[in-house]
């Protein structure tokens, strides 16, 4: 694994990131002492990805959902439309 000092990392950050994404992690050091390891983030597992419709079948929406509260709304705001 490649070790680079902070100045070199700043100078070549784009190239180093491309290498890390390609699967070649590197270490950034200060005065020869390792500080951080930079490596590629793996894509989340399919179980971690939230999908639209993930609660399908678990929630019941009444057929008259768009009519609910209509009488109260009309009473509050009147029929001035």
In three state form, how does the secondary structure of the chain look? CEEEEHHHHHHCHHHHHHHHHCCCCEEEEECCEEEEEECCCCCCCCCCCCCCCCCCCCCCCCCCHHHCCHHHHHHHHCCCC
- pTM to 2 decimals? 0.51
The token duo for 50 is 């939230």
Confidence of residue 79 (pLDDT cuts 50, 70, 90): low
Ordered domains of the chain (ranges, CATH): 2-38 (3.40.1620.10)
Confidence of residue 62 (pLDDT cuts 50, 70, 90): confident
Residue, of 73 and 54, whose pLDDT is higher: 73
Q: What is the pLDDT of residues 4-60, one digit of tens each?
A: 999 999 999 999 999 999 989 999 999 999 999 999 888 556 566 677 887 888 888
Whether residue 75 is predicted with pLDDT greater than 70 in this model: the reply is: yes
The token duo for 16 is 């180093």
């Amino acid at each position: 694994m490649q070790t680079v000092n902070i100045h070199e990392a700043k100078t070549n950050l784009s190239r180093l990131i491309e290498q890390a994404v390609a699967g070649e992690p590197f270490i950034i050091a200060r005065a020869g002492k390792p500080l951080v390891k930079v490596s590629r983030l793996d894509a989340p597992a399919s179980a971690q990805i939230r999908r639209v419709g993930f609660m399908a079948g678990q929630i019941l929406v009444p057929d008259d959902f768009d009519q609910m509260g209509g009488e109260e709304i009309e009473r509050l705001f009147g029929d001035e439309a």
